[in-house]
Homo-oligomer: A and B are copies of this chain.
């Protein structure tokens, strides 16, 4: 993402108008160069990349402001789960045309989030496409050398912990697609707004990154569904887990929908887009972790424990019966 004042093409003027104001980091060189420079200062640079495609990851009518936030935040969520402090990001934007009515709120919201999370725009590429809009973000974070938290590392006896609440975004998506949830909540504006908000604008738990780095034996963010993501963490760590379904944190609207049998708990734990942190905390560090989480204002809930073995994690209901999960998570192909 670079432009030159002597030859202001459409692409260059688009970048100058919308994205230069966001590129305040000295390493972005005002987007006037071919590359950015990230000062690492001896730290490791954690790199994560996630793309969202119109019609696949979001609905064509979704507001550009929430798309900008989601595209950045899904990456911030990965950084948080790895224990990294945001350092910046690059943006690849494939657009059908330069539509000011779309670009203006997109860039403004992106700038607000970049400022809020301390993750400045460093560069990017803007290309035209005849197809769906695609927003691809590669984000960078800093960790002290060798201190990135991995999926592997969980050990038998560790507690399994999640942040926030699980399943709201899946319900929000159901709502937006006019599924059963939409009719049940037709008269509950507050619940509808909360659930769609959870789908459209994730709340990445970057405030908890340092606590994750200091206390977790393994961590990842929940993006494809709690059940599937826990299975991945367990596989990477060569362990299994037992989860107490009743202890999985649900928002009030989600809990009410489950209680009324509008949705089953399995839909919530295999639905995607939570962007909460899932981590394993050794028993003897649990109290200190909870204390630290409280200080940062991020809700954390122990939902079960890591056990030895290679079986997929079990999800047990209050009667001790294992939940049958038809699918664990979302797959693109």
List chain A positions with a Cβ less than 8 A from chain B: 1-7, 9-12, 14, 27, 29, 32-53, 55-57, 78-79, 81-82, 84, 90, 92, 94-95, 97-98, 122-132, 134, 136, 138, 140-141, 143, 145, 148, 150-152, 220-221, 228, 231-236, 310, 312, 328-329, 331-333
- B228 near A148 (CB under 8 angstroms)? no
Asked if residues B40 and A151 are in contact (CB atoms below 8 Å), the reply is no
Q: Which of B39, B84, B90, B236 lies in contact with A49, CB distance below 8 A?
A: B90
- With A and B bound together, what is the CA distance between A94 and B55 in angstroms? 13
Which 5 interchain pairs have the tightest Cβ spacing?
A: A131-B131, A40-B40, A9-B331, A4-B232, A10-B333
A7-B228, A232-B6 given as contacts; is B332 within 8 A of A128 (CB)? yes
Query: Interface on chain A toward B: helix, strand, loop, or mixed SS?
Result: mixed
A44, A150, A333 pick with most chain B CB within 10 angstroms: A333
Q: Which residue of B lies closest to A142 (CB)?
A: B40
Picked from B35, B131, B145, B221, the residue with its CB within 8 Å of the CB of A78 is B35
Q: Are B132 and A328 in contact (CB under 8 A)?
A: no
Closest B-chain residue to A74, C-beta based? B125
Q: Which residue of B lies closest to A91 (CB)?
A: B49
CA distance A37 to B143 in the complex (A): 9
The listed residue with most B CB atoms (<10 A of its CB), out of A2, A98, A152, is: A2
Closest residue of B by beta carbon distance from A47: B36
Closest to A40 in B: B40
Instruction: State whether A78 touches B236 (Cβ < 8 A).
Output: no
| B92 near A92: Cβ-Cβ < 8 Å | yes
Would A51 and B136 be within 8 Å (CB), given that A39-B44, A46-B35 are in contact? yes
